Amino acid sequence: MATTTVENYVKRIYLLAEPETDAFVSPGALAAEMSVSPGTVTTMLKGLAKAGLAEYEPRTGVRLTAGGETLALRMLRKHRLVEMFLVSVLKLDWAEINEEAELLEHAVSDRLLEKIDAFLGSPAHDPHGDPIPTAGGKIVRRNLVRLAGCEPGKRVRIACIRRQDAPFLRYILDNGLTPGEYARVVATDTEADVLRLSLANGTELTLGGKAAAEIEVEVISGKRA
């Protein structure tokens, strides 16, 4: 059985890898993501390779094997179903469920997970808009674009919040930018690196490029309503 630490490394590697690519994830990127020293990552990657969960190329990086990807998707399924459960059933604070799920995902058995899935009616996405892998390990990718790249006039529906830290999520929540909400891009300014948004409730707000890049949307129409 994989330890909690191994589960976390494999999950992070999966999330750092470009989807549909077979590129290697660099040790440095992983070290930053896991908040550990570079040497620790090197040691761990050798371990993952020996366990058959990943291929490790010294000075290049790491790539999950089929087995590693299966484990990563299982962890992602646990994490996201648990998040969904915490929000819809236990009414935990939307901005804090990520931290709770980070702990719980390692303690939820497959047996329990499927009960949770059934209870929730097999949702397709978690509260942040991320897709929930199926029990069979399939993940349905939607055709989303980053809000940062949207042109003025476009009407969009917020689909997914990529950054999961509590302060950012709190901002999203407080400003009505949660998945499912509608908005219109009023103006963009490349030089100033800002994007101006008009929300369904009539309010307007301005986002910096970095924040707007963390929000994925569905484009509803190419022109203003």
Residue 47 vs 137, nearer CB to DNA: 47
Look at the block and give the residue holding tokens 């309010």.
203
- 152's CB contacts (< 8 A; 6+ apart) are 185, 186, 187, 188
Q: Are 125 and 145 in contact (CB under 8 A)?
A: no
Task: Please state the closest distance from residue 91 (CB atom) to its own copies, in A.
Answer: 7
Residue 13 touches DNA, criterion: CB under 7 A:
no
Task: Please state the closest distance from residue 106 (CB atom) to its own copies, in A.
Answer: 7
Q: Which of 13, 73, 108, 161 binds its own copies (CB under 8 A)?
A: 108
Q: Which of 35, 109, 190, 201 binds DNA (CB under 7 A)?
A: 35
Task: Please state the closest distance from residue 109 (CB atom) to its own copies, in A.
Answer: 6
Task: Please state the closest distance from residue 110 (CB atom) to DNA, in A.
Answer: 20
Q: Are 14 and 31 in contact (CB under 8 A)?
A: no
Residue 66 vs 89, nearer CB to its own copies: 89
**Eight-class DSSP state of 150:** P
Report the run of H or E that residue 207 belongs to, with start and end. strand 204-208
CA distances from residue 154 to 6, 185, 193, 202 in whole angstroms, order as listed: 43, 6, 18, 16
Give the distance between the most distant pair of CA atoms in the chain: 57
* Stretch touching its own copies by CB under 8 A, among 57-65, 104-112, 125-133, 186-194: 104-112
Per partner kind, with CB cut-offs from 5 to 8 A, the member of its own copies, DNA, none near residue 41 is DNA
d(Cα 118, Cα 173) in Å, to the nearest integer? Answer: 27
Q: Which of 15, 34, 104, 219 binds its own copies (CB under 8 A)?
A: 104
- Beta bridge partners, 37, equal none
Q: Which of 11, 27, 64, 132 binds DNA (CB under 7 A)?
A: 27
| Binding interface with DNA (CB under 7 A) | 3-6, 26-29, 31, 34-47, 58-59, 61
